[in-house]
Structure 1
Amino acid sequence: MQKPIEVVAAVIRDGDTLLACRRAADRSAGGKWEFPGGKVDPGEAPAEALTREIAEELGVEVRVGALLDRTVTVVGEARIDLACYETRLAGARPDRSTDHDELRWVGVGDLAALDWAAPDLPVVRLLTA
């Protein structure tokens, strides 16, 4: 089996809500919700990758905190090694995304109502437990 794809995601908390992002229809897993982030480049630390990905995708700066969950999920032929980190905004809330067609601030109790991408489900279960 192929080597897992190392991915990081930001669980961005603002007050009592978390940022959920819906993947644009033309992207893989289009229409599914996820926490924003992306692939870790070779030689890059996970926190560096997350800071870079959030700046690229959402145009905002974040402070990366503790690791919340790290799970490998099989999606088709790929193995996704997703590490999700507690993250805080360093400034204003994002209002756009290069990869998503909707950004939504959701209370923890409402997370389960969204149709999440498979790799994000373990951290959603953790957050809602």
Structure 2
Amino acid sequence: MDETIVVVGGALLHDGRLLAARRSAPPELAGRWELPGGKVEPGEAPEAALVRELREELGVTAESVERVPGEWPLRTPYVLRVWTARLLPGSADPTPLEDHDDLRWLSPDELWDVDWLDQDVPAVKAVLRRWDGQDPS
């Protein structure tokens, strides 16, 4: 039996907005939007993977805040788990460095203005249920 591989997604909240990242690769995902993140490496804690992925993909210094309840299947053997996250004081502004070509900060009423990847839609809905438009604390 294959072991599940966890993909962490970051619901990066700042100034009452959520960061969405537009995929540039692979071709079948290009142009659609997602919560930034990536695969947890063997022996790595998911929260540490999220911090690493946000640094690699966006050039930011962030911290995970809390796990968003639920997990969402991706293609086998991957599963998406999401954490809220926040930028640390002194962090650079997010910049698309890997796998993305655009970023948008979305207020709660703008969340559906972008074409989210199908697998991210239920995760974004779960974030919205927990989010009151304020930075996590």
Q: Do these two structures clear the TM 0.5 threshold for a shared fold by scoring above it?
A: yes
Structure 1 residue aligned with 2:78, among 77, 80, 90? 80
Which residue in the other structure is 1:53 paired with?
53
Higher strand share: 1
Counterpart in the other structure of 1:33: 33
Give 1:58-77 correspondences, 5 Å limit: 58-75=58-75
Deviations 1:64-119 (A, max 9, x none): 110013323244xx343111111000123213321101100111221123211122
Structure 2 alignment gaps of length 5 or more: 130-137
Indicate if the aligned counterparts of 1:14 and 1:89 stay in contact, CA closer than 8 A: yes
Q: Compute the displacement of 1:4 (Å).
A: 3.1
Paired letter, 1:60: V
**Contact between 2:51 and 2:61, CA under 8 Å: does it hold in 1?**
yes
Letter in 2 for 1:64: S
Runs of 4+ with deviation above 6 angstroms: none
Aligned residues: 127
1:1-129 correspondence runs (5 A): 2-75=2-75, 78-90=76-88, 91-129=91-129
Q: How far apart are residue 27 of structure 1 and its match?
A: 4.8
Quick one: distance in 2 between partners of 1:74 and 1:26? 15
Q: Say what the alpha-carbon RMSD is for the aligned residues.
A: 1.9
**Distance of 1:74 and 1:12 partners within structure 2:** 21
**Aligned sequence identity (%):** 39
Instruction: Calculate the TM-score normalised by the size of structure 2.
Output: 0.82
Partners of 1:60 and 1:121 lie apart in 2 by: 24
Which SS does the other structure have where 1:22 is aligned?
A: strand
Structure 1 unaligned spans of 5+: none
